[in-house]
Amino acid sequence: MNFFFFDLDETLVVHTGRIEKLSPIQKENLNTEVSFSIENLTFHPLYLQNHIVFFQHMLFNKDLFNIVIITNSTYVPELARAMLNYFFKTTLFSENYSHSGQDPINLVHWISKRNWHEHNSKSKINEIIYYCNATFGSKWPINSLTLIDDNNSNLVDAFKNKIKAVHSASNTYVDFLKSANGLVYNQLIQKIPNQKAD
Domain range 2-189, its CATH number among 3.40.710.10, 3.40.50.1000, 3.40.50.2000, 3.30.200.20: 3.40.50.1000
Q: What's the pTM?
A: 0.85
Domain ranges of the chain: 2-189
Contact between 5 and 70 under an 8 Å Cβ cutoff? The reply is yes
Contact between 146 and 4 under an 8 Å Cβ cutoff? The reply is yes
Between CA 119 and CA 127 the distance in angstroms is 8
Q: What is the pLDDT of residue 97?
A: 47
Amino acid letter for position 56: Q
Contact between 69 and 55 under an 8 Å Cβ cutoff? The reply is no
Contact between 32 and 62 under an 8 Å Cβ cutoff? The reply is no
Between CA 139 and CA 122 the distance in angstroms is 23
- Bridge-based pairing of strands 65-71 and 108-112 is parallel
Q: What is the pLDDT of residue 57?
A: 85
Tens digits of pLDDT across the chain (198 residues): 788 999 999 999 999 999 999 999 999 999 999 999 998 999 999 999 999 999 988 888 877 888 999 998 889 989 999 999 999 999 889 875 444 444 444 678 888 876 665 555 567 888 888 888 887 777 777 778 999 999 999 999 999 988 899 999 999 999 999 888 765 544 443 444 443 333
Q: What is the pLDDT of residue 136?
A: 78
Q: What is the pLDDT of residue 116?
A: 60
Q: What is the pLDDT of residue 115?
A: 65
Q: Detail the DSSP E strand segments found in 12-143.
A: 13-15, 36-38, 41-45, 65-71, 108-112
